[in-house]
Structure 1
Amino acid sequence: MLASQRQEAILAAIRRYGAARVADLVESLGVSDMTVRRDIGELARRGLVLRVHGGAVDARRAADEPGFHVKAELFSPEKAAIAAAAIEEISPGGAVALSGGTTTHLVARLIAETPALRPLTVVTNSLPAAEVLHQAGAPELNVVLIGGTRTPSDALVGPVATHALETLRVDVLFLGVHGIDLRAGLTTPNLLEAETDRALVAAAGRTVVVADHSKWGVVGLARIVGLSDVDLVITDQEVPADAADAASDAVDLVLVPARDRVPTDLGAVT
């Protein structure tokens, strides 16, 4: 396969899924790690993709917020492992908060499926999270859905949401983010979401960030808080060692192995 054909296949995969891991591209294309990284570098030079730790994301989506269902398809094994580790931070009888996001949605699903965590109160601005918790039909699971303006990722944000959160206190917040950067901190493309997320952090005794490795090195338009302002980051083992070491100086870090990872299939790409 010529370099131009490889790059076309890589770009097609990234645009289809929103992002791609170097390891999956290596396996699918049957080339070396260095070759894939060189191809990604060329695509990044042309402004078609944005390099992140361990792979690349679609440059067209880097400054925008993809919809919930688009993001739900990305790095699902990693997100499942992160969610499983996150519920270990929950104690029955307390109150937790879930921000918007696909990883926090998986946390909500596990809460709904785990009777041992009840009784529990869950405060959330995530419509999908609230729905999966409501469908559990558990009387000892109290769900508080705050109001606000709906984002593309189905989170409720803005002044109404922020004002509601000023009156609430929870034991722990599980916070999903668009990007993690050692200097920029935790970021999102949505200005109103950043404001609401800061209100969630202020309402929580502890803040636990749940974010897969593709979020590392990504910087969105609006800063939520710095890494030193949160208590724990749960991510997956695909985060490069140097980034993990640097981050661990500012915040406690938990690295989990992905569950049942399925390589990206490039066989149909022409």
Structure 2
Amino acid sequence: MRVGLGQMSSGHDVAANLRAIDGLAARAAADGARLLVLPEYATYEKKTIDASFPAVAEPLDGPVCSTLARTASRHGVALVAGVVESSDDPGRAHNTLVAFDRDGTLLAAYRKIHLFDAQGFRESRFIKPAPEPRPALFDLGGIRFGMMTCYDLRFPEHARALSDAGARALLVGASWVPGELKTRQWQTLTAARAIENGLYVAGVCQAAPISVGHSVLVDPMGGVVAELGTEAGLRIADLDPLRVDAVRGEFPMSRQRRI
């Protein structure tokens, strides 16, 4: 399957972000992509999470997700994007990844489980975690995809749960906070989750300076299939499910694991 990695420089102008997504979807579809993966907070982002996030939050049937659905349908490309979803707590929103099929059908929605309360940040002040930490997956083109968001990448049991549920590729939307060795950690962790589970990892970040960029598609052996730099852009790459079969045959870790 041909996949697009859409690295964005999202800001606080929702309409501008949605136009940028539409442009990436058009380019990805023209290059033959079946799926476009976009970063965490693709539709609304700021350097620091504040009270404006719950203020702009919408339900999944609101205008933002309706626009994303129309974008997917108009260009005939499935897309995964980070949105700010309203919750039952008026002071906190959900940090949610949504997946739409190429006809605009909502395939899945994943509310972030592990919030970034680290390095002086406190995402949980304005963001509410998923009420139940359960895997979120969807099927597209004969491949099962699992969904993760940013800080989730540091929790290997999350990726393992998705793999155990049948995922052959993980889609990680991120706005990986810059800092000492943070790019190195991003690259290492995406590769580690791919290798230890024998699957693909498509990690898509916000661009610098708000994030580290370096969106990447890693294959089940840890090889880099495609990677961007620090600026916004689009990279198209192929994800081969037969590669997953081959690697899992060579390293049958799921059968050998002892718990």
TM-score (norm 2): 0.31
Q: Which has the higher helix share?
A: 1
Decide which structure has the larger Cα Rg and report it: 1
TM-score (norm 1): 0.30
